[in-house]
Structure 1
Amino acid sequence: MTAVLGRVGPMYASLARDLQRLVEDGAVAADARMPSERVLARVLGVSRVTVASAYRELREQGVLTSVHGAGTFVVPRSDTRPWGRLVTGDGPDVLEFVNAAPPASSFLGAAYEAAARGIATTSAHPGYVPGGAFRLREAIARRYTARGLPTTADQIMITAGATDAIHAVVAALVGPGNRVLVEHPTYPGALDTLRAVGATCIPVALDPSDPDAFVDAADRAARQHDPVLAYLMPDHANPSGTVLPTDTRRRLAATLHRRGVVTVIDEVSVDLDLDGHGPTEPFGAPVPDRAAVTVGSLSKSVWGGLRVGWVRADAAHLAAVATVYSARQLTVSLIDQYAAIELLGDYEAVVAHRCDQLRASRDALTSALTRSLPDWSFRSPSGGLSLWCTLPAGERSTELVDRARERGLMLAPGTRFGTGYAFDDCQRIPFTRTPEEIEDAVAVLAELMGGANAGPRERVPSRAVPEAVV
């Protein structure tokens, strides 16, 4: 921190602005204890009065708080606005771009019809399948094996979606006060889950243009903070779309294993390869099974309403997760599991159809943004579900989202994807809607960024009601 602040002048207002920038960029974490006035003044070569005045300015703005006898701390960001909560309205006039959730697959109906026929032949079955139906676990294990990670059905546990799997893994392996390494930005649901168990998130910056740098940064963070767990999305990360190259993920897996950190791999978007680069080696393939726990689901390739996810792990970790999970969930819906079996039987076609949809929407979004918002910067991801955009200098995502909401466009602010005050200069835009809806959403953003008030617009009905940012 002092290396950056050492470039500021002696004026307290300038120092306050630079301190606030460090907090907003995530370089200084929420809840962090600030250096004492005396120490910071000595390091920067300014007067103690200058530092005291800067701290006072930031206390008045709600960025810092001082506790007598304990010091000065960054105030955790508290945002009670309804990002990702239930959206209601009197009419179908909401453009819902909060969640990266595609519509139901066209293969879904036939899968449920086949599942219903299968259920009809099991009238004597009690309907409870702890751990999941064997045929489903076997089908998922075969896919891992085909990708280069030998797996048996005994290494798979079925859950009610990937988020349910993450909850179970975190509850089993993380306790209050434990540190967990997370890529930054990352999936907000994972951050919420970790906070709920009292864990401390250790953010490690992930630059899509330089993923190799993440390995060294993660190594330093693991050495300095001794995390018990790391949560990563190495394939089409949410929200950045980053894919870790094979050599990078091998080095990262080996590094975290050497540091004694169990890695939780979220593969919810692993199959959404839009540019035909082909499958990447599963994270953790070259290291022992105990080094990584993988979670996945059919929510993105098929439909979020199909609540079927899974955990893949070694016997010891899976037993711990299963013990936690069985205490709150007796079984996952059997008809959902039977439908998942049908879908996995024709999964290449299911995925190809989904990727065709997402590719058309991604291309529509990148084209519309380039045309209508040329000051926004982004890299077109090779897969996944969203664009991660950097806003022009001086623009704030939280303010933009507020203005867009008044125009019927629902977005999640960039700050939802990080810790503390980070990423208020970024905006995630999912490309899970139709090209027509995307064009309409970008038109609203262009109006707002240009300061124009175009009056009433024809709004495209929302086909999804968000409850949580996904």
Structure 2
Amino acid sequence: MDMFDATAISAPDLAARIDPSSLRNRSGGPLYLEIADELRRLIESGEVSAQTRLPAERALSTSLDVSRVTVASAYRHLREGGWISAQRGSGTYVAPTGSMPSWGSLAGDRETANLEFVNAAPSASPLLSDAYGVAAEKIRGRFASGGYAPSGLVELRESVAAYYRSRGIPTTADNILVTSGATDGIHAVLATFTEPGARVLVEHPTYPGVVELVHSLGGRCIPVPIDPDNVEEFVTAADRAARQSAPTLAYFMPDFSNPSGARLPLRTRRQLSATMHRHAVLTIVDEVAADLSLDGSPDIEPFGAATPDVATVTIGSTSKTVWGGLRVGWVRAEAGLLARVAATYARRQLSVSILDQLAATELLGRYDEVRRVRAEASRTARDHTVALMRELLPDWHFRVPDGGLALWCSLPDGLRSSDLVADAQSHGLLLAPGLRFGTGYAFDDHQRIPFTRSLAQITSAVEILAGLRSGVTSTPHAAADNPTAVV
């Protein structure tokens, strides 16, 4: 099977999204241009993602009830504009968004980059060193063993289970699978439940790594627009997308979503969870940012707590509250679902580092302090970033998030993120293009600015961006290279 076949969109599906009845109610230009404009809108919004195989001209013309020549002309117009391309003997595809490297390699080696703002990854918690000290003592008693714990150390799984129980979800160690970070857990879940051609609902914008994983497994992401200022509409949009696309999976970040910063209130997350359950959609809940409240807002009931346990698989991690270098994450699920995920994971990972697991166990025993320390540092960095942005880039618009690790900025008219990123790189500042957070050509008018570096580095980064806008740039502050200036 051609790798693109799994991401094909059928003629009836595409025709429904174009809505042929609306085309006939328009006046003005040729019909083929109206169809081309609708297709371009779907591609730009991400409703039809990059590298999706489009229907044959004859099939789409039948579904739209127009002539084949009309569809052929629309396709030709889009090819000339670089929106789609024809693969000889294979069909017509939405053009890729560019030759950017994979999300995981986009930033390169963080340690060698002067101003690396691709990853929203904070520096290590000051509590980490002591935790590793305790772990180094405890691991001595395990040297006689083989050093493998396929599902994770019992004491760590029990600590994670206790964490969920404290949040109101009955959980035992048998509901927990330890993984090498959250992305490893997400991959194991997707690899278990994503069949070729499967459709996965994702909030839009979303974490780029998930889009890449779904595509690599032969699935197709169905984007659902999310507005942090109107999250209630997200439930309606997700319900509509589920009815139209018949997805089998959904991937959501209900708490301080990356990159939008959206957080679903209690009633909204209950409605969304019930809606997905009604459509028989298994929801993957990414909670890596759930403990990153910065303004003292109260914890909210975990997503899926009010629906049957078989409707939700939850991903957690220490990467944002402690450190990305502590490669410990987990999957929480109903025992039957978890057994399937564990079988998938065992084929690619024998065990997570025992030393890391022991350190994570120690940190979970002090987790309230871990959260408090991270919140204090992140709040200082956020407020510093917001003040600088408002002073030096007043025409950039953003919502100040009450949690998370980044600002999601709407760029001024005429400024494209892809151009900005290229210009910034020439001045030593690495950023992730807004395009990477969508499933198509969306979000080139947005830019994510993480506030996870030192205050001096944040200052240098914003000054570079301001200089690019004014045509005057300066070299980064010497303090940006100072490893002691850590937030």
Q: TM-score, normalised by structure 2?
A: 0.86
- Is 1:250–2:270 an aligned residue pair? yes
3-state SS, counterpart of residue 418 of structure 2:
helix
- Gap change, CA 1:48 and 1:191, over 3 Å in 2: closer
Contact kept, 8 Å, 1:34 with 1:74, in 2: the verdict is: no
Task: Give the match's secondary structure for 2:337.
Answer: helix
SS at match of 1:387: strand
Find 2:285's aligned residue among 250, 261, 265: 265
Partner of residue 454 from structure 1, selected from 467, 473, 483:
473
Quote the residue 2:306 is aligned against.
Answer: 286
Q: Please state if 1:98 is matched with 2:106.
A: no
Residue in 2 aligned with 1:368?
388
* Higher RCO (Cα < 8 Å, 6 or more apart): 1
Partner SS for 1:324:
helix
Q: How is 1:135-284 mapped onto 2 (pairs within 5 angstroms)?
A: 135-284=155-304
Question: What's the CA shift for 1:21?
Answer: 4.9
Partner Cα separation in structure 1 for residue 58 and residue 389 of structure 2: 45
Q: Structure 2 vs 1, CA of residues 5 and 405 (structure 1 numbering), >3 Å: closer, same or farther?
A: farther
User: For 1:259-338, what aligned pairs fall within 5 Å after superposition?
Assistant: 259-338=279-358
Mapped to 1, the partners of 2:232 and 2:276 lie a distance apart of 14
Question: Is contact 2:103-2:208 (8 Å) kept?
Answer: no
Residue number among 135, 141, 156 corresponding to 1:115 in the alignment: 135
Q: Please, which of 446, 449, 464 is the counterpart of residue 429 of structure 1?
A: 449
CA contact (8 A) 2:464 2:473 kept: no
Change in Cα spacing, 1:8 to 1:230, as seen in structure 2 (3 Å) is farther
Deviations 1:9-59 (A, max 9, x none): 42788986775455223244432637969988x9899x9999866643431
Change (3 A) 1:282 1:44: same
Q: Which of 29, 33, 58 is equivalent to 2:54?
A: 33
Q: What are the Cα deviations for residues 334-366 of structure 1, in whole angstroms up to 9, with x where unaligned?
A: 111110111011111111011111111111111
| Distance in 2 separating the partners of 1:28 and 1:309 | 32
Distance in 2 (CA, whole Å) between partners of 1:276 and 1:364 is 18
Query: Once structures 1 and 2 are overlaid, which stretch shifts more, 221-230 or 159-168?
Result: 221-230
1:377-412: CA deviation from partner (whole Å, max 9, x where unpaired): 110111011111111122211111011100110000
Q: TM-score, normalised by structure 1?
A: 0.89
Amino acid at match of 1:445: L
Residue 377 to residue 322, structure 1, CA distance change in 2 (3 Å): same
Change (3 A) 1:231 1:14: closer
Mean alpha-carbon deviation: is it higher for 268-277 or for 64-73? 64-73
Q: Is contact 2:460-2:476 (8 Å) kept?
A: no
Residue 52 to residue 411, structure 1, CA distance change in 2 (3 Å):
same
Residue 121 of structure 1 deviates from its aligned partner by 2.4
Change (3 A) 1:120 1:236: same
Describe the shift of the 1:13–1:127 C-alpha distance in structure 2 as closer, same or farther (beyond 3 A).
Answer: same
Give, in whole Å, the separation in 1 of the partners of 2:100 and 2:135. Answer: 41
**Contact between 1:240 and 1:387, CA under 8 Å: does it hold in 2?**
yes
TM-fit CA distance, 1:84: 5.3
| Aligned pair partner of 1:405 in 420, 425, 428 | 425
Measured in 1, the distance between the counterparts of 2:364 and 2:420 equals 41
Cross-structure match for 1:467: none
1:10 lines up with 2:29 in the alignment: yes
Range with bigger deviation, 91-100 or 392-401: 91-100
Residues 1:64 and 2:105 aligned together: no
Helix, strand or coil: the match of 2:338? helix
What amino acid is the match of 2:232? D
2:440 counterpart (408, 417, 420)? 420
Q: Could you tell me whether the CA contact under 8 Å between 1:92 and 1:462 is conserved in 2?
A: no
User: Which amino acid is 1:133 matched to?
Assistant: L
- How big is the shift at 1:327? 1.5
Q: CA deviation at 1:88?
A: 6.4
Name the CA shift for 1:281/1:8 in 2 (closer, same or farther; >3 Å): farther
Unaligned runs of 5+ in 2: 1-17
- How far has the Cα of 1:135 moved from its partner? 1.1
SS at match of 1:121: helix
Query: Contact 1:36/1:72 (CA < 8 Å) preserved in 2?
Result: no
**What's the secondary structure of 2:331's corresponding residue?**
strand
After superposition, the Cα gap between the structure-2 partners of 1:279 and 1:457, relative to the gap in structure 1 and judged at 3 Å, is closer
Q: Could you say what secondary structure the match of 1:307 adopts?
A: coil
Q: Secondary structure at the match of 1:282?
A: coil
- For residues 78-122 of structure 1, the C-alpha deviation after alignment (integer angstroms, 9 at most, x for no partner) is 423576526569x96621000000001100110000011111223
1:175 alignment partner AA? E
- Partner of 2:142, secondary structure, is coil
Q: 1:393 to 1:32 in 2, by over 3 A?
A: farther
1:127 aligns with 2:151: no
Aligned length in residues:
460
2:57, 2:72 within 8 Å by CA — same for their partners in 1? Answer: no
RMSD: 3.0
Q: Secondary structure at the match of 2:356?
A: helix
CA distance in 1, matches of 2:329, 2:422: 34
Partners of 2:27 and 2:221 in 1: CA distance:
29
Three-state SS of the structure 1 residue aligned to 2:237 is helix
Tell me whether 1:23 sits opposite 2:43 in the alignment: yes
Q: Which residue of 1 aligns with 2:4?
A: none
Change in Cα spacing, 1:121 to 1:248, as seen in structure 2 (3 Å) is same
Is the Cα–Cα contact under 8 Å of residues 118 and 338 in structure 1 kept in the other structure?
yes
Distance 2:123 2:87 in 1: 49
Shift of 1:301: 0.3
> Residue 430 of structure 1: CA displacement?
0.7
Question: In 2 relative to 1, CA 397–125 (structure 1 residues): closer, same or farther, beyond 3 Å?
Answer: same
- Asked if the contact 1:83/1:411 (under 8 Å) is kept, the reply is no
Shift of 1:4: 8.5
